[in-house]
A = this chain, B = another copy of it.
């Protein structure tokens, strides 16, 4: 047998086992948001463990947003916000290189895939908003001195596109992916000539296509806009 087939010895702590039991219970009980949970002492007795251990297991579900507890009253099933925990761990410094690369690509995937939604939902006000950003951007001279503000406009523009999608989850994704994206670009391609602001298709071009072109034009231009990045993935 290959050594890779060897699974690490189970060193499950008791709380880990309790967590499993609770997970099974929650699933089998077919509970839905708002439903009450048994009291801590009841659970502890049912599983034959201390309240301390039960509380730590419950704390995990609480952290994940699966349950909610109201002081002095009891616990109930919650409707978790799937992104909130994602956001908390999205720190570039903590993520390993593989994940960083994945996130880099993921942003590109989202950016292109989002084009459909943008075209489906764009309004005159949206265009106007983007235009105001591009105006300001063009008004800012392209000197290294201004790169920070230009990067801000860059982020604003792309964030604006996501806002048009109207998909809150997508918007939040973009928001948490962006810093990771920037970080990994600089980390893996520190070539100073490859500025993150150097695009063969400008935001102005994109905006004009958004106004007058088709969704296919727009997506195509977006891909060219992101060419610097696409070239980096193999």
Binding site for B on A (CB under 8 A): 13, 30, 32-33, 52, 55-56, 59-60, 63-66, 71, 77-83, 85-86, 88-90, 93-96, 98-99, 102-103, 105-106, 108-114, 116-117, 120, 165, 167-170, 173, 216, 219-220, 223, 230, 233-234
Residues of B within 8 A of A13 (CB): 71
* Measured CA separation A165–B112 after assembly (Å): 15
Residues of B within 8 A of A108 (CB): 113, 116
Residues of B within 8 A of A219 (CB): 219
* Measured CA separation A168–B106 after assembly (Å): 10
Given pairs A30-B93, A80-B89, A105-B167, 8 additional interface contacts (CB within 8 A):
A33-B96, A59-B60, A77-B94, A81-B99, A82-B89, A113-B114, A116-B223, A120-B233
Residues of B within 8 A of A80 (CB): 89, 94-95
Query: Who on chain B is nearest to A32 by CB?
Result: B93
Does A170 contact B109, Cβ atoms closer than 8 Å? yes
Does B79 contact A65, Cβ atoms closer than 8 Å? no
Does A66 contact B82, Cβ atoms closer than 8 Å? no
